[in-house]
Structures are given as structure tokens and as C-alpha cells.
Copies of this chain bind each other. A is one copy, B any other.
Amino acid sequence: MEPLAADEIFKEFREHSIAEFFKKNRQMLGYSSPVRALVTVVHEYVTNSEDACEEAGILPDLEVRIDRISDNRYRVKVTDNGPGIPKAFLGKSLAVILAGTKFHRYMQQRGQQGIGAAGCTLFSQLTTGKPVRVVSYTGKGKAYSCEVSIEATNNKPIVKDIAEYDPAGAVRGTSVEGEFAEVKYENSDHGVYEYLKRTALSNPHTQIKLIDPDGKETVFMRSVESLPQRPRPTKPHPLGLSINDLLDFAHASSSRKISSFLVDTFARTSQGKVDELKGIAKNVDFGKEPKTLTWGEAEELINAIKSTKWIAPDASYIIAIGKEQVEKAMKNILAPDFIHVVERKPQVFRGGVPFIVEAAVAFGGGAGKKTDEGYEGNILRFANKVPLLFDSGNCAITQAVKSIDWKRYDIDMEKQPVSVFVNVSSIYIPYSGVGKESISQEDEIVEEIKLAVMEAARGVQRYVSGKMHANIESSKYNTIMRYAKQLARDLGDLTGIDQKKLEAELEKLVAKHYPEAKEAKRREEEETAESKGDDSEGVDDAAE
């Protein structure tokens, strides 16, 4: 058979919009299983509200209302007291993929892609054919409501039924409401309730009311009344730049000279620093226009930057939750028997992107996860205060926590009520996927999380190991004594020596090794005897 010609094959060549792409591959946005899909919707709206409130300097009050329409069809409405959306941006912010105020800014925010809310609109459209309804009041002018959907073939917004209201009595903020099918509300580790509980944990300044499909109201009360620091845009640190980044900045710059461009554009870059660079990058003309910078010159500049000493990036632009806040929130929500919280100093990855890790290990109380056999440890993952509930397998946090030799801290993640909390804060979180549910395994990030968690683990070790030691000793003692009895009986048969005598000898030997356990056992038996009266035979005998 003749091979098919290229001309034939390329007749099928087409270009596609990003909206068409996600329409076909919605699982990449988190719209896979029904439970996850519902959490994804709530997650996108809630993080947008949190970001908007934080940027505007407003203490967030959120309401999440979920109504069941049928078995796999729900209405989700999220209302905030944020700054609102101006009329001109109602369509663009909710119905254009890759559009927003965050993608290009060097500022810490939960959202950083401009995909989330438009993804919800697309998902509503795909599963119910309905637009999303938005009501917003910015506190000035009129209040507006409208319906938005996406024209998928070209990723453009369709805005319909726009109405304006006299704002008399209107409350500033935004409410977004959509109807979604192929979703499910479930009270599980991966459900909406758990998502909001964890959001409250990492955002102690936020108040969230959940009205679930059964009409049950839960209010996650704020445990801190003060506003967290407002996010501020900063400048990139020279050590975090690639050659290509430097070129892009240079070509977009309106500075007259490369030297002033460097001072104006990057953090920690004084005229003195530029002079230092001049001494190293001898082939670069610092007086020429940045627009004319070539790859070769940029490369020489980057090499010069790398061979120079720099002050570390200013970590004041990174907003961690704060040690006290984490402790307060964890106690508030998990009520553990013991907790140790660690806030580490800022570190950098990829040369110059700053990040901060906070970690906590909580033990006992509401920590860990109940199982059929008892308990097991769990990991509470957060990135810029946003709970990550899915895709744990590929996450830097999971990898770091799993690489720890927990025995060194007398902790058994398989059997004990332990919760490991980790929050990574940064101006740029390198997510592994578009769905933003796991952090890419960058070496520096994994290593820093590991150190933070180990420090927290050491903090609870004394408490845990005291408790553990007693348990283990007494369990070993009991086990060995049970065998000793059996052995005494068998040896008696085999040797003809009196069984009781052998048993007494063996018990003496064992007790020598486990004096504490022997003592604990004695006390325990006394207590049992006291509570049961004299007709009890004691725990060990009764178990035979």
C-alpha cells in the first residue's frame, strides 16, 4: 500500500482555543470525579473571594450555599463582602480563560493563573447548558447583575441579561451562582465541608458560613480578628531570573539605558550593584537601550549576576499565616493533645524566588484520621493558605513528609493520631498541574519542607515518646508473659519439671528486663480488681 501523503494528512490541520482544550480535557482543571468537581467549584470561588478581600484590605465574610437539585446536580452560590467587580469586567473575569489581575503581577495571591473562575463557567455550561449568574456592587455607582458564559471556539465572554440596581441598601461584594451537573456533595475527607474546614484552619481571619444541601448551617468562626498583611507587588530578585526573563523585561522596558533599567526593574539592585556588574560583564554596553539587548548580552549579564553577592530577597512580600495563628487555628479546629508549630525563615528556589514554609505536627485529640483499626496519620497540605485535597501523590509536601524517618521521632504515621500541617507561601508556587492541587517537586522546596516538619516532629517527640515508651514496654511485657506461660507448660511436659516453678523462674527473668511495665501492670491489675471486685481474675488471665 502506498504511504498516505503529507498533503492529505495536513488537510486536517486546525488551531484551537484554550477554552476548547479544557472543554475536552476538563479533568485537568479538577473536574474529574463528581465529589472532586464540586470541591473544585467551591475552591475556585472561595480563593477568588479571599484574594479580592485580602488585596482590598477587607476582613472576609463568606457564605457558601449548596442546594441539591437532583442526585448529581447542584446549585452553588458563593457570596463575599469583597471589593466587587466593575461592570466592564463582569464578563471578562468570569468567562475568559487566562485573563485576570494576577497572572503577570509579582505579588503573592492564591490564584495565579486566571483560569479558575472561567473554568467554573465552562463546567456549568458543559454539564447543564446554563450560564453563571453574578451580582456585584463595588460600593460606588450602581449594583449590577448579569449572566455570563464562554464562547468556546474563541474564548470570548457572552454577557446576557445585564441589569442595574439602585444600590440603596446594597452590600458591597460579589455573589456568583452556578448550576452544575455530574457533581456530588459528600461528607468525606475530600468533600466541600473538609475543604472549608481546612480553609478556616489556614485563614484564621476568615469567617465562612456553609449551608449544605440538607439546609444544615455550619459557621467556621474566625479565630483572629486582625487582617493579615496586604499583598504588595514586588520586583523580581536578580538571582531568580533566567536569561529569557531578563530579555523579556528588557524588551518591554521604557528605560533609556540598561543601567537604569536594571535599577528600576529588579529588587536589591542599586547603582553600586550595577557598577559592580559593569566590571564583570565587560562586553555589555550599559548605556544602550534595553530594547536592543541581545541573547548573548543577556547571558553575559546573568552570568555576572550569578557571580556577584546579593542581599537575599525581601521576604516581607511573602505573607505566611504566622506561628501563633496556626497554633490558635489548629487548637480551635483539631483540639490536639499536643502540637508543635514551626515557622521557618524565608528560603529561595530557582536561585531567587523566595518562599516560606510553616509546619506543625499535632498529636492526639482530633488529630489524625480514624480508621477501622484505630488511627492513622494524615497530611494537611496548603499552598498560599489554600488547602490542597487532591493529587497528593505527586506533591512536594507529600514527598517531603514521606521521606522522613518518623521512627526517629517515635511517631508511627501508620497507626497514630498525628496530623502534619504544611503551608508553603510564595509569590510564585510552581504547581505541577493546571488544577493547582500539588506542588512540583523542586529540590529546594522539598528539602525545606522536610527540615520544617522534622523540627516540628522533634517538638512533639518528648510528649509522644513518653506516651509511646510506656505503651510499648507494657505491650512487650504482656506478649512475652503470655508466651512464658505457654513455654512453662510445654517445658513442664518435656522435662518433667514443675510447671509453676518454671513459670515463676521465667517471669522473674522477664520482669528484670521490663521493670516499668511490670509495675504498670501491677497497678493496672489492682485498679481492675478494685473496680470489678475480688471475683475478677485480672486482665491477663482473663484473656487466656
Contact = CB atoms under 8 A, between A and B. Distances in A.
A64 to B, nearest CB: 22
A5 B491 CA distance: 87
A326 B462 CA distance: 55
Contacts of A378: none
Copies of this chain, tallied across the complex: 2
Interface stretch (A13-21, A337-345, A357-365, A471-479): A13-21
A77 to B, nearest CB: 20
A5 B139 contact: yes
A101 interface: yes
A126 B57 CA distance: 37
Given A52-B9, A242-B126, A393-B393, A100 B440 contact: no
A384 to B, nearest CB: 15
Interface in A385-434: 391-394, 398, 428, 430-434
A10 B101 contact: yes
A215 interface: no
B125 A244 contact: yes
Interface stretch (A23-31, A38-46, A197-205): A23-31
A543 interface: no
Interface stretch (A83-91, A262-270, A311-319): A83-91
A469 interface: no
A466 to B, nearest CB: 33
Given A15-B98, A21-B98, A3 B58 contact: yes
A505 B256 CA distance: 98
B6 A244 contact: no
B3 A57 contact: yes
A508 interface: no
Contact of A434 (B28, B105, B113): B28
Interface of A: 1-7, 9-10, 12-18, 20-21, 23-25, 27-28, 32-33, 52, 55-58, 83-86, 88-89, 92-93, 96, 98-101, 103-105, 113-114, 125-127, 129, 138-140, 242-244, 247, 295, 298-299, 391-394, 398, 428, 430-435, 440-442, 491, 494-495, 497, 505
Given A13-B101, A16-B99, A129-B298, 4 more contacts: A6-B138, A9-B101, A28-B433, A494-B505
